[in-house]
Amino acid sequence: MFRLRSPRLTSRVAAFFGIIGLLAGLGLTTAAYSVARDSLVDQRVTTARSVAFDHALELRDAFARNTVAQTFQQLDIGSGGFAVLTQPSLTSLLQYPASAFPDSLRDTVTAGDSGQQLFELEGEKYIGIGIHIEASNSGYFEAFSLSATERTLAVLVTALLIGSALAALLAVFFGFSTSRGLLRPLTRVATTAGDIAGGSLDARLEPTDDPELSRLVVAFNNMADAVQSRIEREERFASEVSHELRSPLTAMTAAAELLASRRGELSERSQQALDLLIAQVRRFDAMVIDLLELSRLEAGAIDGHLEEVDVGKLASQIIARSSTPSTRLSLKSNAPIIAVTDRVRFERILSNLVENAHIHAGGATGVSISIQRIGDIVIAVDDAGRGVDEPDRVRIFERFTRGSAARAREGTGLGLALVAEHAAALGGWAYVDDSPSGGARFVVVLPKAKPTLIDHDMPTGVS
């Protein structure tokens, strides 16, 4: 089932700041728009009332002079507005009838009072002012257009929304920058911890002037010092023990060989005990040699020597010297594979894989060497065993670890650990997978193979 990846912490913090900034901007926009609208409408109403009353006074005087029609035509009605005087003689001069105004406003004026009301006509908003002219018992209505006010409010709300969007973007940038700054010490801790895990035991955090971060730096560095000290003690102990075992082991080997030279003088039961002793002494000797090699690898005491190596030819020679010289070797390349690598480490890797298959899995059924698209060289050894269980596939490359199918078999339990160490020393890695033909497939990836078109004969046994 597909599962969406959780967003990064910096992204979540930036999004949080952005949402807060956007909500704050929208809140301020709403408040500012409401205040501005009320202020502009109130200002427009006040102006409209003043103008309408002035016009009503002019019309009242015009009734006394009997010049109502002329005065009504000369009224300065604002752009988009219109006026109505409830006199039948002026019907032909009106743009709209009195019914264009709200009924409640007309009722107020008919009752002898004045009033005002917002209304809409043909999709336009107006302020309607109604004034009762007592001298002529008529009503004067004037409509003032709110189009200019609406346009002003539209410009204002657009500017406020743009400001809110910019504020949200600024909040996102601020949140991202702030979270990056706050997480930078943790990033340094993670990077340094990764360096230590990768083998750089001397990696430490740089001191800081921040008193709060200084506690973290000191605690982390003290922990790293303790880990490094413990690892170095264990490595030194293993190296010293392995070295010290060489002398008694040499004496045991010499004594076993002396007994073996006089094997015919021993009884059958003593011969069986001698065979068991010789096998265990040899296994002990191999284990000590492997432990010493691992100790030197961890201490960096084994100097590598990179050179151009014909991988196919070298692999053929390694297999020919192995316990299963008939193992089939397949080179998946149209040309010989020339790799810039360490010949000794490469031989140790391949020979250990082949011997591991021979001891624990009924022998290697095939060895293949290929080049990946990015140029890395891939060594794969298939065996005839029953495979490696999923829980064992990572830990099988640890020291003294065997798969569940090999726990009762011979071997030092260090061969695959050496494979992983040598591969890592060359910048590569090792893993185990299922073989297409059954059994297990042990794979080592080494960086940067160098293919060439030099013609030479393919070694015997290679297909």
Q: What is the pLDDT of residues 128-180, one digit of tens each?
A: 999 998 878 888 999 998 888 888 888 988 988 898 888 888 888 888 887 77
Q: Is residue 204 part of a domain?
A: no
Q: Is residue 67 part of a domain?
A: yes
Q: Is residue 411 part of a domain?
A: yes
Q: Is residue 117 part of a domain?
A: yes
Residue that terminates a domain, selected from 252, 276, 299: 299
Query: Is the domain of 27 the same as that of 119?
Result: yes
Q: Is residue 187 part of a domain?
A: no
Predicted confidence (pLDDT) at residue 408 exceeds the cutoff of 50: no
How far lies 273's CA from each of 249, 259, 266, 410, 426, in Å?
18, 11, 10, 17, 43
Question: What CATH number has the domain bearing residue 231?
Answer: 1.10.287.130
What pLDDT, on a 0 to 100 scale, did the predictor assign at position 290? Answer: 66
What pLDDT, on a 0 to 100 scale, did the predictor assign at position 455? Answer: 35
Hey, what are 90's tokens?
């002026």
Domain count, the chain: 3
Would you give the distance in Å from CA 449 to the centre of its chain?
31
Half-sphere exposure of 1 (CA within 13 A, CB side): 1
Strands in 82-85's sheet, in edge-to-edge order, are: 82-85, 138-145, 124-133, 115-121
Strands 429-434 and 377-383: unpaired
Q: What is the Cα–Cα distance from 242 to 247, expressed in whole angstroms?
A: 10
pLDDT in tens, 341-382: 888 888 888 988 998 888 888 888 889 988 887 778 899 999
Q: What is the Cα–Cα distance from 139 to 108, expressed in whole angstroms?
A: 10
Cα angle value 266/267/270 (rounded, 5°): 80
SS3 422: helix
Residue that terminates a domain, selected from 299, 332, 362: 299
Residue that terminates a domain, selected from 249, 283, 299: 299
Domain residue limits at 265: 211-299
Q: Is residue 195 part of a domain?
A: no
Query: Is the domain of 329 the same as that of 218?
Result: no
Predicted confidence (pLDDT) at residue 237 exceeds the cutoff of 60: yes
Q: What percent of the chain has pLDDT over 90?
A: 9
Q: Is residue 205 part of a domain?
A: no
Q: Is 25 exposed, middle or buried (0-12, 13-18, 19+ CB in 10 A)?
A: buried
Query: Is the domain of 280 the same as that of 362?
Result: no
Predicted confidence (pLDDT) at residue 463 exceeds the cutoff of 50: no
How far lies 175's CA from each of 1, 337, 396, 428, in Å?
33, 52, 46, 40
Predicted confidence (pLDDT) at residue 460 exceeds the cutoff of 60: no
Query: Is the domain of 143 the same as that of 225?
Result: no
* 97, 141 contact by CB (below 8 A): no
Query: Is the domain of 310 the same as that of 445?
Result: yes
Please state the rounded mean pLDDT for residues 72-84. Answer: 86
- Say which residues have a Cβ less than 8 Å from residue 64's Cβ, sequence separation at least 6: 135
User: Exposure string (b/e) for 194-208, b if CB count within 10 Å is 16 or more?
Assistant: eebeeeebebbbeee
pLDDT in tens, 85-99: 887 666 666 778 888
- Nearest one of 393, 388, 384, 383 to 405, comparing CA atoms: 388
* 383, 439 contact by CB (below 8 A): yes
Query: Is the domain of 118 the same as that of 14?
Result: yes
Q: What is the Cα–Cα distance from 242 to 240, expressed in whole angstroms?
A: 5
Query: Is the domain of 124 the same as that of 34?
Result: yes
When the pLDDT of each residue in the chain is averaged and rounded to a whole number, the result is: 80
Query: Is the domain of 310 the same as that of 279?
Result: no
Query: Is the domain of 16 the same as that of 148?
Result: yes
Query: Is the domain of 279 the same as that of 384?
Result: no
- Nearest one of 135, 69, 130 to 98, comparing CA atoms: 130
Question: What CATH number has the domain bearing residue 15?
Answer: 3.30.450
Question: What CATH number has the domain bearing residue 424?
Answer: 3.30.565.10
Tokens 């930036």 belong to residue: 14
What pLDDT, on a 0 to 100 scale, did the predictor assign at position 422? Answer: 83
Query: Is the domain of 323 the same as that of 341?
Result: yes
Query: Is the domain of 313 the same as that of 447?
Result: yes
* 371, 331 contact by CB (below 8 A): no
Q: Is residue 176 part of a domain?
A: no
